[in-house]
Structure 1
Amino acid sequence: MDVSLTLWVLTIAGLAVLIAADFFIGRTPHEVSIREAGTWTAVWVVLAGLFAVGLMVFAGGRPAGEFVAGYITEKSLSVDNLFVFVLIMAKFSVPSRYQQRVLLLGVLMALVLRAGFIAAGAAIIASFAWVFYIFGAFLIWTAWKLVQDARKGGHEEEFEENRLLRSLERRFGVADRYHGTKLFIRRNGARVMTPMLVVMLAIGTTDVLFALDSIPAIFGLTQDPYIVFTANAFALMGLRQLYFLLGGLLRRLVHLSYGLSVVLGFIGVKLVLHALHESGVPVPEISVPVSLGVICGVLVITTITSLMASSRQARDTEHPEERREGAEGAEGAESVEDAENVEDSEGGGPRQRRKS
């Protein structure tokens, strides 16, 4: 897809306007309701859909299909990020009325950092076709790691600050409490970071670590930097509202990591096949419609099985007495039966029951 500099500028300007509107609409710190989160989540999904329709009209079906596949993949991988965002919010005890501001600026920082990753990835791919082997192998390895982490309960660990955060905290110091939405305050004549800024940096830099698998994943679906960037932008910009919308539902997506591992493994295989094809090896390539079908199918199945498993677990948790009484009743019945068998054996024959 041939994208002019003018289109790039217009796209970035349009995204900036949307981000600014999102910021000013929610600029007053407040607790985000389910209704507000649901409304804005729907708005961002509709905007992404309209962008896909625009691509189909002006660029054709293939770029539109690549955008949709990339958007769904990035969105699903971003949902996995939300588990870590929950840990970060708990780690820094972020007041609920400030969480939407933290997420807005943290996600904006992540988008800027991801843009750098996308530019670097596009340049590497344009110069070295063999990098697809590395991307594919990395995604397959990441898929295996996701399965291992899921089996160990990978989302139960505590958030650990990275080296950048620790160095900034040593350099500037951190205030002992939140000061509204301020990022810096004056303490003893020196500028000191507030916990608000630390949390934003934690979310922004942590998302970059997740980009290490999401960026190669979307390059496995399309090598067009424009589509890669816009799919990432739309997936990230609705992430704040999705955080509040899902809420406790995150804990119910118990099979999400397994589904994401299948998606990443599938895209990893697709990348390896593409690399072999580019090297002249006569192997089949996986088309965009097939990729989109596999990704959507895996995510739908994963969501259904997750909700079924969590509902079954909730029922077992809500009625432990009934299960315990049932187990004790069964054990008691077995004990009575054993006692009767003992009596029967001592009496030399089967015991006759009195008829009523």
Structure 2
Amino acid sequence: MEKRKQRKLQHLDLFIKLFDNNRPDVFQNYSFVHNSLPELSLSDIDLGTSLFNNKLKINSPFIINAITGGIEQGKEINRALASAAKELGIPMAVGSQYVALRDTSIIDTFKVVREENPKGIIFANSGAMVSLQSAQTIVDMIEANALQIHLNIPQEVVMDEGDRSFKGYLFNIEQIVKRLEVPVIVKEVGFGISGKVARKLADIGVSGIDIGGKGGTNFIEIEQERSRNTIGNLFKDWGIPTGISLVECIKSVPEHVDIIASGGIRDGLNTAKALALGAKCVGIAGLFLYILLTKGQNELINTIKKLEKELKLTMLMLGAKNPRELTRCPVVITGKSKEWLELRGYDVSFFAKR
């Protein structure tokens, strides 16, 4: 158990060391068509949206995505994140709670989010092979509104002590989906979800898919730095880029499955692009954690407000008064993203001709 705690501490330290706010734009091949007659005022714009067939209503389409827990530093981080989520009326997710199933002394590092935000929308988090009983315990631990099940196979592969067998994931997730009373979201951690995998997840009844595309925090890079294992060099560019993964998933699942865009989204313009392509919300973890750890909670809140302002200004120029109307705005996809998607059989002209 101490090794797992040590790993979590190392992840936080290496995240700060490796954080790069100048990573390439994950939507650089995606452009809006300017609307010269938006017929809209800024005061008309409402960022409110909902998840899971209107079961969860939120003030704006941002989610403070899964970050940490299980260590003392994680408790204070989660407390600050929960406080920010409460003030802004947006959801947040905790990091993997598996460690708390075996060590009850650290449950409070997760429970603090519900104590800080008693009426807020909070997502629990577990791995894909957690038992139904443990999944229920994890949800009950923080009175969660939904459960995130994370997929992180490339990270496991390059981790010295990582798993080497990934059999039974889909079946186990299906059993949890069928029996757990709260919605289940399946979330990648930075390597993207393909259309084919998205269809499989939709077929077993998941309520949401968080694409976790390539372009944000790179856990292969972090694990390589942590262990000095050179195998990470081979796979450092592994994954499906965020914009591509989002289109593949949007075009592959029924409308009732909510798609959450995440993976290197750091401004309101790219948030608008993600929503226009069909995402219901945008999940951000790395940027928010970096701001919190380097500049504090107040600056984190200001950063999220800045993103909301940027999103509103983008919507104003497009003539979209709410996130739903963004899905009617044309988006032109070019370059390598267009090439990839067309080779994979996805018609990108659909987005351009709206």
TM-score (normalised: structure 1): 0.22
Greater percentage in helix? 1
TM-score w.r.t. length of structure 2: 0.22
Larger Rg: 1
